[in-house]
Structure 1
């Protein structure tokens, strides 16, 4: 079976911020996606136990008041998400998402914060195979420029538009929408990798030096290992770019999850 044709466990979180060590889950989604458009969405709303900053509410639309009134305890949400991922991915479904180290690391730190078993520990000897649309897109279309000053070249919206899906601004930045979009993009990248270039849409065929065929005929394990290397290379390149203006800039190339270092995290509440 080709890596993009089986079922995928699409995963996304919306959070209180962008600090993976200390910010909290607000909403989470795991969407079981089939190769022919079928999908099974599971979603959660959490009470993160802290104030949700206005900047985060502006992104995902969930206020502190709404989360407190309607959300489940954060520990229970993290537990349920991890249990679903362990069951689905442990049975061989690849986990797919966009910029996966953010979501997996936030989930890992939430589980540890509340004294729950981390996802990788739940899997034991079973491998976790991950498909990261940000890493793959950066590799296969390395020279695409940002569409505008306000929209980055590797944002999920840009990938959705590049691969022909458009973008629903009202639905975007909900975890279920973003998870499902990442799965569709991964499937499209896989399709392009396994078809003749002459059948590519013009917007892809005329791109500068596309590299889709380097993903052809890889097993899920081979694709995962390739992304470990690609993520490290991409982070190093981005770090070099940032250091042109900030000599102290550091870009973490860990993939698909940042290693746990106990002193880096605010331990917060335990339960």
Structure 2
């Protein structure tokens, strides 16, 4: 069975901000999807123990007051999220999400350490391995020259990817972790389908893509796909760093993937 047809664990977080070293989990979703089985949903609302900035609440809709009244203690939520991911990885099911290597998995790692919870990387049996499918890394590799949609909507955000791969998008539901996790899993499925479809059978808009590289994903097993993403993520970070250094010679973009090493910053 090719990698996109098997069972996947879709994962997404909504948080207090975008700093993986400092910000906190507000909501989390871990959904078992695909593989010919029913969806297995799990989601959490945490009290992060800090104020949720208005800017973050405007994105995901959770205020400090709501999180304090309805959310569970952060340490319990973090432990349960880590355990559910570890159980999936422990039976060879990959974790899929959008930008999870740069953001969600690293932030989860820092939250685990903050709350004295055993981190995900330390819960995986030595005979198993981390298996991650990051749709931002995959999309950037297979469709390298897509332009921004607008000044406010980038080429690689999940909304843009959904449209590129002919998936529906509801702004009212977006930035809810359940919705975003499921859309990311569907993007992964579409990318995998294109990788295993002959180019002459691609939709017209995909045939028009400049220098597509979907074929490089064809027939990879999950381990090879994971290893390829380590390489591609590093290359993409290096390219972004080079771009930033045109205006800021000191700019640094970390290419670590799928979890930024602890203590690296």
TM over 0.5: yes
1:36 positional shift: 5.0
1:205 to 1:38, Cα distance in 2 relative to 1, 3 A: farther
1:97 positional shift: 0.5
- 1:28 matches 2:8: no
Equivalent residues in 2 for 1:1-271, closer than 5 Å:
1-35=1-35, 38-101=38-101, 102-125=103-126, 126-261=128-263
Tell me the matched-pair count: 263
RMSD over equivalenced CA pairs, Å: 1.1
Rounded Cα–Cα distance in structure 2 between residues aligned with 1:88 and 1:211 = 29
Secondary structure, aligned partner of 1:110: helix
Rounded Cα–Cα distance in structure 1 between residues aligned with 2:170 and 2:38 = 19
| TM-score scaled by length of structure 1 | 0.95
Secondary structure, aligned partner of 2:40: strand
| TM-score scaled by length of structure 2 | 0.97
Secondary structure, aligned partner of 2:183: helix
Rounded Cα–Cα distance in structure 2 between residues aligned with 1:45 and 1:177 = 15
Rounded Cα–Cα distance in structure 1 between residues aligned with 2:149 and 2:37 = 28
Secondary structure, aligned partner of 2:5: coil
Secondary structure, aligned partner of 1:112: helix
1:166 positional shift: 2.4
Rounded Cα–Cα distance in structure 2 between residues aligned with 1:18 and 1:183 = 22
Secondary structure, aligned partner of 2:75: helix
Write out the 4+ residue segments of structure 1 that deviate beyond 2 Å after TM superposition: 35-38
1:35 positional shift: 3.9
1:28 to 1:92, Cα distance in 2 relative to 1, 3 A: same
